[in-house]
Amino acid sequence: MKLIIAEKPSLARNIAGAIGNMKKYPRYFEGGDYIVTWAFGHLFSLADIENYSPNPDGETRWTMKNLPCFPEKFEFELKKNSDKTVDSGVKQQFDTIKELCLRSDVNEIINAGDADREGEIIVRTCVMKTQCTDKPFMRLWLPDQTEETIRQGLLEMKEEASYDNLAKEGYARTFIDWLYGVNLTRYATLKSGTLMRVGRVIVPIVKAIYDRDMQIRNFKPDIYYAPYSMTEQGGGEVELTSKQKFDKNELSKAQELCVRYNEAKGVVTSKKVKKDTLSPGKLFSLTKLQNVLGKKYKMPMDESLRIVQGLYEKGYVTYPRTNSEYMATAEKGKVKQILSAVEKLGYPVKFKDGKTIFDDSKIESHSALTPTYKIPDKTALSEDEAKVYSAIMRRFVAVFCSEECVAQKNEIKIDVGGMEEFVLKGTVILEPGWTKYDDYNKKDKILPNLEKGDIIDVSFVPKEKETSPPKHYTIETLNNYLKNPFREEKANAQNEDDEEEYRAIFEGLELGTEATRTGIIENAIKSKYIALKKDVYTILPDGENLIVSLSRMGISMDKYKTSYLGQALKKVYKGEITVKDSILITQKEISRIFEKTQSSAEKDTDDGFVGDVVGVCPRCGGNVVRTKFGYGCDRYKDGCKLSINNVILDRVISVSNVKLLLETGKTSKIEGFVSKKTGKTFSAVLKLHDDGVVFDF
């Protein structure tokens, strides 16, 4: 008997349906030569810090006494509920998997986890925990869940060892994220007194939105002038905007240039008219699909992923968590099969070949997201399912459309006195072709009827313009940033050269992956760090506090650090370094943060941990304790009002200075205060005054 372990019940049902004639038992199917059971996604999670380094005082509260924690060996345990008890359903399902693995008539085990690094380690971990090591272990890799693909996949399985590097990358990612998340979340929470979710990917995502919103908030618009002319000639408008810019104090210079331009007039130096075919966009990766759905329907990423995952599990689309917009050359036969099904719907499609569609060099694990040959009944889809499926289908039809989109492109160049050349461009769609099926939002732009040598009357005047602030991140622009945070933001033409984008993906420069980004962004929203309204992201007060607090603590989780670790994961996948090497890189980074904390007291920047007693209250003799907001007397309920902020004018007030203040009434001279009025830094001594402190210059 062959035991297939699927990642989820839905996949197990589809596999059982494809095999056929299988009897359903509690928690598994059996029939013929196969047994099919399932996990519920992750049945196991990494054990918590207390399993490796118990609190020496036996307390269950978080403490600095067992931080940082670097396990010699990571241990997986069955997932627990919030009350720390093992989930009964999870235990029952694992017990079933273990019993089936150890059954004497089972002579082969098959990993049918989702076709990615997470799915790879989910089933591996289950099998590892059964301690069943003496049976052949195979891998069922499914690009979609149609019956034909499942049956074909069962005939073409590879040994599980062929996917060892993918598993190593998956485990390395799990260990690294645990090290960062557990150590730094506890550290930052103990330091601030507020739960702070610190993760390898969530922090740089929140920071990107924070930085953009701070740029917008602090933006001061400025006036400038640009020579501008609008006249009518050749049956249309001749609109010319100069590239010359003059600041608000140079109006007279702008006027002088306008006079010279008007005296010179304009001459048409060239006119080009040509017919051209416009190419459709590429097939969808998950991110590009989410960009379209977010822009068109304001559909949040978690919602679009949930819907497309459901369509995949029903067999209507291919594996969704793909980062590629290309098909593998080996899939040409599969594409022809899909086209045959699509053609029956009445779409004008034909098979096309070429590097813009088939390119093995731009596929890491999965090809682009496409429909399968299994076409759903539209009445069986919900309204949102129909939107998502339609977007995928229409893009597929556009790419393989047999009707070309033909356009007339015009370009007119106008020279003004040899001082500046202006270029007018217009495009008119002559034959719509694929634009009838996929979105194409550019409107026809008709140029005036001008010919080479025509003299153009111009009427330049200085046009007052205002500099614009950056725009908030949208679903599309944030996704584009996360795919390559080191590329300058620009409007993405549908068929721009994407070599740089794929290089960034394959090197691990992206922040998160197609499989993880959606969940991490949703976690940031649930944590109230960021907000999503329609398709626009903004920072929230808790998000601001997170970024500012981490900066003060010396925790740098920016795009550079996260990409550095992402590159390490790719090196594990390529076999260039080991899982242990990647863990050591992470441990060094975390150790630097804790070492910095230990030495920060000497640098007068350590404000201690919430709950620390820092001295005796000079007012009433009570204890002065570090709180969420600073330092305060623990006899506040008895009326003592002594309170000292831990941050004053952007300067951390250290424990050492507070101790000095309590003992002598004054701190030492503190440098680095920032004036709210001027923005300049200054130095001062703090002294006790009434129930707080004042500056003593």
Q: Is 267 helix (H, G, I), strand (E, B) or coil?
A: strand
Mean pLDDT of 425-434: 94
Mean pLDDT of 612-639: 91
pLDDT band for position 495 (cuts 50, 70, 90): very low
635-655 per-position pLDDT tens digit: 988 999 899 998 898 888 988
pTM over 0.95: no
Mean pLDDT of 591-605: 69
Cα–Cα distance for residue pair 462/89, rounded to 1 Å? 73
Q: Which two tokens stand for residue 97?
A: 């998997």
Specify the DSSP element, H or E, that contains 452: none
* Residue 601 pLDDT exceeds 70: no
Residues β-bridged to residue 236 = 233
4-62 per-position pLDDT tens digit: 999 999 999 999 999 999 999 999 999 989 999 999 989 999 999 999 988 777 777 88
Q: Is 113 helix (H, G, I), strand (E, B) or coil?
A: coil
Specify the DSSP element, H or E, that contains 131: none
Cα–Cα distance for residue pair 303/678, rounded to 1 Å? 46
pLDDT of residue 594: 85
Strands 530-533 and 420-431, sheet pairing: unpaired
138-152 per-position pLDDT tens digit: 999 999 999 999 999
Q: How many CB atoms lie within 10 A of CB 175?
A: 18
Q: Which two tokens stand for residue 197?
A: 């979710």
Specify the DSSP element, H or E, that contains 663: helix 655-664
What Cα–Cα distance (Å) separates residue 120 from each residue in 223, 296, 360, 548? 57, 34, 22, 38
